[in-house]
Amino acid sequence: MSDTTLNAFVSQRIEVSPYLIILRVAPDGWELPDFTPGQFAALALPGSAPRYRYTDPEETTPDPDKLIKRAYSIASSSVDREYVEFYITLVRSGELTPRLFALEVGDRVWLSKKFPGTFKLSEAPDDVNVVFAATGTGLAPYMSMLRTDFESNATRRVAVLHGASHSWDLGYRAELVTMERLCKNFTYLPVISRPEDEPVTWSGPAGHLQDLWSGDTLDRLWGGRPTPSDTHIFLCGNPLMIEGMIEVLSKEGFTEQTKKAAGTIHLERFWT
């Protein structure tokens, strides 16, 4: 099988909103590699693949035979061996996402056979609390971590802080609300930045993730302000949110984990 063969197919496509999809991709006749939650795969389609209708026309036509490849964090559990799930935003002017959005169940797609990445829960010690902060599809790696590794009877507290523009952009909300109801050590805090657009009054937190963190909602639920000595923070998604959160967190003594130095902030940037 040549490297450019479309070696997988779409086994499920869930439309969260017109610009957000959950796509399950199954390998065709080969085994998925082992992976650790938080890692990512690459998806690709050739330039000849059709674009979704509600997107911008391309200024230059890509090579019809060349694969357009992009990285996507895996949202499914590493225990699932039949498929990998992705949570994808439509970039209307983008090269690949308008083609991914045109895919239907059964359509073929290229899936990498290696799932790399260092954004893993094991970056935090087992005995600290964990805050997973994400905007939009930055939630994907946390879904994989929660679906694989979350222990409802552990002493560790886990919180998901999820920022989106509207309530209808809060993918996986039902699953996370259910987890929160069932697990005493799990907190789910969605925040929306445009509550004025909601047809039904939004009673939850409004603003950006930084506002949610700077407020006291989590402190009240956890019975105190998380500190660098008891909590590690994971950040994933929009680079502006990541920079904003780092600024706020660094004032509270949290430090970024780097290749050279241990830290209490762990990040995955989807773009720069």
Ligand X SMILES: Cc1cc2nc3c(=O)[nH]c(=O)nc-3n(C[C@H](O)[C@H](O)[C@H](O)COP(=O)(O)OP(=O)(O)OC[C@H]3O[C@@H](n4cnc5c(N)ncnc54)[C@H](O)[C@@H]3O)c2cc1C
| Residue 167 token pair | 């309530």
Q: How far apart are CA 86 and CA 63, in angstroms?
A: 25
Q: In this chain, which of 112, 129, 137, 144 binds ligand X, going by CB under 6 A?
A: 137
Q: Report which residue's Cβ sits closest to ligand X.
A: 94
Rule CB under 6 A: choose which of 22, 41, 67, 73 binds ligand X: 73
Question: Does 22 sit near ligand X (CB under 6 A)?
Answer: no
Task: Choose among 66, 74, 70: nearest CA to 22.
Answer: 74
Stretch that binds ligand X, among 82-90, 121-129, 161-169, 220-228 (CB under 6 A): 82-90
| Cα–Cα nearest to 140, from 80, 73, 240 | 73
Are the beta carbons of 155 and 185 closer than 8 angstroms? yes
Residue 135 as a binder of ligand X (CB under 6 A): the answer is no
Neighbours of 166 (CB within 10 A): 15
Q: Which stretch binds ligand X (CB under 6 A): 45-53, 83-91, 159-167, 208-216?
A: 83-91
| Contacting range for ligand X; rule: CB under 6 A; set: 86-94, 120-128, 147-155, 244-252 | 86-94
- The 3-state DSSP composition of the chain as helix, strand, coil percent (nearest 5) reads 25, 30, 50
Nearer to ligand X, 96 or 170 (CB): 96
- Can you tell me the distance from the alpha carbon of 197 to that of 177, in angstroms, rounded to the nearest whole number? 22
Annotate each residue in 28-67 with x if it binds ligand X (CB under 6 A) or - if it does not, as one string: ------------x---------------------------
CA distance 85 to 12: 9
What's the CA gap between 4 and 109, in Å, rounded?
10
Q: Which is nearer to ligand X, 72 or 186 (CB)?
A: 72
Out of 36, 76, 78, 97, name the contact with ligand X by CB under 6 A.
97
Our finding on whether 208 is near ligand X (CB under 6 A) is no
Using CB under 6 A as the criterion, which residues of the chain lie in contact with ligand X when the complex forms? 40, 70-73, 86-89, 91, 94-97, 137, 140, 268, 270-271
